[in-house]
Amino acid sequence: MSNKKIKIAVFVSGGGTNLQALIDKQKSGVINSGEISLVISNNPGAYALERARNADIKTAVVSRKESASQAEFEGRLVDLLNENGIELIVLAGFMCILSENFTVKYPKRIINVHPSLIPSFCGKGFYGLHVHEAALEYGVKVTGATVHFVNEIPDGGEIIMQKAVEVEDGDTPEVLQKRVMVNAEWIILPQAVEKVSKNLLESK
């Protein structure tokens, strides 16, 4: 077993509050087996990039729109991951679908946080605020967050951790989203990252 930490890349698209939780939990020692070495955004305007820069983490932008094809987009991602020796990929509010060509290259080395209790409100079209809109429309009384491995099925990989959050009377999608983030996502994502990093480190 080596003492070196697992090199982590975090993929982001927007505000990056989950990235912030990872940065904070790395500082406080909850994440100790891995280290965030690179933050990649598909969106050059993502505030998440600012959060990474503030924490002195290397950043890169790979735009899907400016790539000629999904294959070119994913090829650029793979090049960056190789150049930086990345061993674990964390999707933290990354709003691009990754094809099977990409996911097969990293078995049990890509994890994602999803803002519902999978298998509810997940899969194609369920992302960001839409997930909470759907949960409120259905009328569930409990929702939550899931951290799972990523495979070729959107939101279909093995579950690593889940945490339930109660829906309250009068919730709006925004209010519910915030409660799920604070009480579930920002807690279980760093815990799951540490768990997976530790296992990878021990199997080296």
List of residues contacting ligand GAR (CB under 6 A): 14-18, 48, 92-93, 113-115, 127-128, 131, 181, 185
Query: Cα–Cα distance between 88 and 15 in angstroms, integer?
Result: 21
> Closest separation between CB of residue 201 and ligand GAR, Å?
25
Question: Would strands 88-91 and 110-114 be described as parallel, antiparallel, or unpaired?
Answer: parallel
Q: Which is nearer to ligand GAR, 46 or 201 (CB)?
A: 46
What SS3 state is found at 169? coil
Q: Rounded to the nearest whole angstrom, what is the least distance from the CB of residue 196 to ligand GAR in the complex?
A: 17
Q: Closest separation between CB of residue 99 and ligand GAR, Å?
A: 16
* Listed residue (33, 45, 44) closest to 6, CA to CA: 33
Among residues 131 and 201, whose Cβ is nearest to ligand GAR? 131
Which contiguous run of DSSP H or E holds residue 199? Answer: helix 186-202
Tokens of 114: 């999803």
| 178 burial type by CB count under 10 A (0-12 exposed, 13-18 middle, 19+ buried) | middle
Residues 6+ apart with CB under 8 A from 70: 64, 99
Taking the least distance from each CB to ligand GAR, the nearer of 36 and 201 is 36
Task: Compute the least distance from the CB of residue 4 to ligand GAR, in Å.
Answer: 27
Closer CB to ligand GAR, 111 or 201, in the complex: 111
Is 114 catalytic? The answer is yes
Of 114, 130, 132, 148, the catalytic one is 114
- Give me the residue whose beta carbon is nearest to ligand GAR: 93
Catalytic positions: 114
